[in-house]
Amino acid sequence: MAALTAGLATLVTDRVATALREHTRPFTSLEGVEELLSAGQTLLGGGKRLRAAFCTAGWTAFTDSPVTAGSAPVLAGSALELFQGAALAHDDLMDGSLTRRGLPAVHRRMAAEHTANGWLGDPDRHGAAGAILLGDLLLSVSSVEMDLARRLVGDDASVRARATWDLMTTEVAVGQYLDVRSQVLPWSAQDDVARALTVVQHKSARYSVEHPLVLGAALAGAPEEALAALRRVGLPLGVAFQLWDDVLGVFGEPEVTGKPAGDDLREGKRTVLLALALRGADDEQRATLQRHVGRPDLSEEDVALLRTVLEATGAVEEHQRLVDSHLAEGLAALDGLGLPAASHEMLTGLARMLTARAA
């Protein structure tokens, strides 16, 4: 399984780099374009290729056609990773994140280039504009890659794949807005858990696991009833993935996650973990959370204090139970699909990786 995943990651990584070069070739001689493309290649060079792996798992569950360079699942995996790059560029800008995968976030990189070159105007505005435009460029290139993948399959498969892609790209934008909106709403212990779970589903859970899994199966020609069954696998697994990601956003090690410790706390992320803590907090604990969460200047000592409060409220244990229950739900649904043994093994391995990672 590990060898298969590593081999796929290499195929997809190579294709992503090629796609960005190929689809922008008419413009590479223009002054300044290389700055944009270089930022894109750096951003796209890292990552777990998780979405591409689930897409390939969906493909191999319904066809014996090999996964090779230029095949439909690799092109679709490239499209997913390019779309993810766009989402990261935009997300880091909206969150004010300084780093991504241990390197400066796109808007910070481009602001630094502005300063280093002694250009006119505000470096931060230039960096923000560059991040928005790089994200837009990657969205365009991802769409081209998806179209190339669809041309390699039959008409029915192409239609189902396009419907899945369109749903995914629309839902991510909606989910992102729900996330942004949640961070400016008044604190409420009554409905914050339900609201946070809604954001998890529409911003990340379906996009990270369900849609890639269904996309690969759709390209392979899986019928609609099979796609519906895969959705019942993918959604709970995606929720488990994002819930675990929220744990790493508070308790993860910076040298592994590539982001400062407690970054989600500085950004004021209204996660399920935070919502559970507010629901279980006493007055003093609630006041501490509301006073500190969302402060960009949180020190390491402040982060340590908030971690202690999160644990003391019982939120961390309750949150872990949610992670475990969603993972179990997804695995149970997977067991009921009756997939070929190799496909079942691959998907089971991917599912367990979702909540066993450190980054």
- The total of other beta-carbon atoms located within 10 Å of residue 62's CB is 22
Pick the CATH number of 188-358 from 1.20.120.1200, 3.50.50.60, 1.20.140.10, 1.10.600.10: 1.10.600.10
Task: Report, as an integer, the average pLDDT of 75-88.
Answer: 98
Angle 317-304-272 (CA atoms, 0-180°, nearest 5)? Answer: 40
Which residue has better confidence, 190 or 271? 271
pLDDT digits (tens, 9 = 90+) for 235-286: 999 999 999 999 999 999 888 888 787 889 999 999 999 999 999 999 999 9
Q: Residue 5 corresponds to which tokens in the numbers above?
A: 């995943």
| Identity of the residue numbered 207 | Y
pLDDT digits (tens, 9 = 90+) for 300-321: 999 999 999 999 999 999 999 9
Q: What percent of the chain stands above pLDDT 90?
A: 88
pLDDT surpasses 60 at 226: yes
pLDDT surpasses 80 at 190: no
Q: What would the CATH number be for the domain defined by 1-152?
A: 1.10.600.10
- The total of other beta-carbon atoms located within 10 Å of residue 303's CB is 19
pLDDT surpasses 70 at 58: yes
User: Cα separations (Å) of 217 from 129, 258, 291?
Assistant: 37, 32, 47
What's the pLDDT at 189?
61
pLDDT digits (tens, 9 = 90+) for 267-277: 999 999 999 99
What's the pLDDT at 174?
98
Confidence of residue 4 (pLDDT cuts 50, 70, 90): low
User: What residue spans in the chain does CATH classification 1.10.600.10 cover?
Assistant: 1-152, 188-358
| Mean pLDDT taken over the chain | 95
- Positive or negative, the Cα torsion across 285, 324, 207, 12? positive
pLDDT digits (tens, 9 = 90+) for 16-34: 999 999 999 999 999 999 9
Q: Residue 149 and residue 201: Cα distance in Å, rounded? A: 26
pLDDT surpasses 60 at 296: yes
